[in-house]
Amino acid sequence: MTRGKKRFLVGLVVLIIGAVAAIKIYRRLPSRAVLVLDAGGPIDEQRPVGGQPVAARSATLLHDLTDAIDTARDDSRITGLVVKIAPLGAGWGKVQELRAHLLEFRKSKKPNICYLGEDYSGNREYYLATACDQVWLVPTAALGVTGLLSQSLFVRGTLDRLKIYPDLYHIAEYKTAANLFTEKRYTAAHREMAESLLRSALEQYVSGVAQARHLDRAQLDSLLQRGPYLAAEALSHHFVDRLAYWDEIHKVFEEKNGEWRPVSLSRYLKEVKNDGAAKLAVVHATGTIETGNSGWSLFDGFVMGSDTVAADLRRAREDDDVKAIILRVDSPGGSAVASEIIRREVDLARAKKPVVISMSDVAGSGGYWISMSGSKILAEPTTLTGSIGVVFGKFNLAGLYDLLGLSTDHLTTSENATLFWNQQNFSAAQREQVLRFMQDIYANFTKGVAEGRKMSVEAVDKIGKGRVWTGAQARELGLVDEVGDFSRALAAAKELAKIDAKTKVRLERFPKEAPWWKRWLSQEESQANALQGITSELRRLARAPQSFQVRMPDLAIR
């Protein structure tokens, strides 16, 4: 080796050592730091399995936020917390959970500020902000504290214009998932259910805000009737503590610490350790339930594949080091068969170790089906759950074909060969057969709930009939054991596994997240094949016969 090559190699080694040292120094958390969290946009339970679209890649994970807040509470290097709140892409359940952890942080007596820096902060954003000791609002912004709105979409008018007939059926009257296609407005049962959910959500919202802001309940009810408010009005009514700009937050901590030393979530997560004397598994069950593998749908978003989740539950069951399993559910339901495949694995796991169900934004219909055999079920007060019912049917496209000048001809060997044919409604005999299958699924659903919840089938049917409940309502009805977030589910799992409450546990999460380089490659591939993905998704929807669905209706509360 020549002298020049030796010098080059020595120089390269020195550079590498220097770079590693510099990275370690950079990663070292400064003393008197302030944890700054961005709470806005999508907040998800897990990363998608397989290729990730841009929206999914940019989403923040809920457990990353809560883990950081909990660690910072007892971290002497963190002297305060600032949460920048932007429009939230999360349901009330996730918001409620995040808010609970912020309320716990307040007990540390460290300064904590929730900063509303958007043009308009709505009910959900303000509800989260009230978890902080101080709520700051930009002087030119508006605060959208108002009554809540429940909204459901109906496309029957569009289908009528396209000459498409939705030949859909449901069990029972509150099972309104098909109303999206069959109705133009609320039915009486749909309206009754929506009003009940709205009242329950409003109670959570108003009581939470009143308590956190030390406002009189009657006064707050009156103020909500007159919102939204200009910044100065929001200050005068004590909704916020200060009208200020971002740089003024810097000054608060400069005066306290001598310097503004912000630490981002991504950097602080390196300080969050997942270690403990005992191991628990967390199996994430997110999205529309289908048979096969989990993935991402261009139309449905997260897809919970029965094979994937069942395999994850099986791995956790067969691992003797795992003392208990937490099934984290965030799903509006889907295929009845896929739901039963997952429930079966919950049942098998429960025979060996505790399986605690922790519900997020929604765990209804199929989402409740996979939960009903758990050792213990917990939900947030605003979780949408229940929806014990069945939906099935098809769309008759004969009118659309005629409108477009298309025509078909056909031959059959039996009447039921046309069962899934999209050129006619179900015949009377086919309709009878379909309803028979639906009744069988509903009977299995109510029987499973009765066994899991130790209720009679008649009692389950009375609170079933497809009706959606909030977690608070479900607790009163016996569909869940407790209202509580993931932290409480973790405590329950430790109790059932006979692990001392003070013992720190290590969490193993399923599905396991791929290394960064694999995620990067899948991102590049998913972007390159975007058009192909859209085409294949349309083909899948067009050719696949309808499965019997245990699925939630379209319900949005904001």
Which class for 402: exposed (0-12), middle (13-18), buried (19 or more C-beta within 10 A)?
exposed
* Residue 65 and residue 535 in contact, taking contact as beta carbons nearer than 8 Å: no
Give the residue among 246, 229, 247 at the shortest CA–CA distance from 238. 229
Largest Cα–Cα separation, the chain: 92
In contact, 290 and 338? CB cutoff 8 Å: yes
* pLDDT confidence of residue 19: 44
Distance (Å, whole) CA 114 – CA 130 = 8
Q: Collect all residues with Cβ–Cβ distance below 8 Å to 225 and sequence separation of at least 6.
A: 147
pTM here is 0.90
In whole angstroms, what is the distance from residue 450 CA to residue 480 CA?
12
427-436 long-range CB contacts below 8 Å, 24 or more apart? 431/169, 434/169, 434/392, 434/393, 435/169
Helical pair 62-73 and 92-106, crossing angle rounded to 10 deg: 10
DSSP 332: -
Reduced to 3 states (helix: H, G, I; strand: E, B; else coil), residue 438 is helix
Distance CA 200, CA 196 (A): 6
558 residues of the chain, pLDDT tens digit each: 565 555 556 555 545 554 444 444 445 798 899 999 999 999 999 988 865 555 555 689 999 999 999 999 999 999 999 999 999 999 999 999 999 999 999 999 999 999 999 999 999 999 999 999 999 999 999 999 999 999 999 999 999 999 999 999 999 999 999 999 999 999 999 999 999 999 999 999 999 999 999 999 999 999 999 999 999 999 999 999 999 999 999 999 999 999 999 999 999 999 999 999 999 999 999 999 999 999 988 878 899 999 999 999 999 999 999 999 999 999 999 999 999 999 999 999 999 999 999 999 999 999 999 999 999 999 999 999 999 999 999 999 999 999 999 999 999 999 999 999 999 999 999 999 999 999 999 999 999 999 999 999 999 999 999 999 999 999 999 999 999 999 999 999 999 999 999 999 999 999 987 665 555 555 545 444 444 455 555 544 444 455 788 788 877 787
Location of structure tokens 């000054």: 251
Q: How far is CA 533 from the centre of its chain?
A: 24
Q: At what angle do helices 306-318 and 336-350 cross, to 10 degrees?
A: 0
Strands 150-151 and 229-230: unpaired
171-to-146, 436, 524 alpha-carbon distances in Å: 35, 11, 44
Give catalytic residues, as residue numbers: 175, 365
Q: Which domains does the chain have, with CATH numbers?
A: 29-146+227-271 (3.90.226.10), 278-389+427-548 (3.90.226.10)
The 3 state secondary structure assigned to 359-414 is EEEEEECHHHHCCCCCCEEEECCCCEEECCCEEEEEEECHHHHHHHCCCCCCCCCC
Of 558, 228, 502, 508, the C-alpha closest to 382 is 558
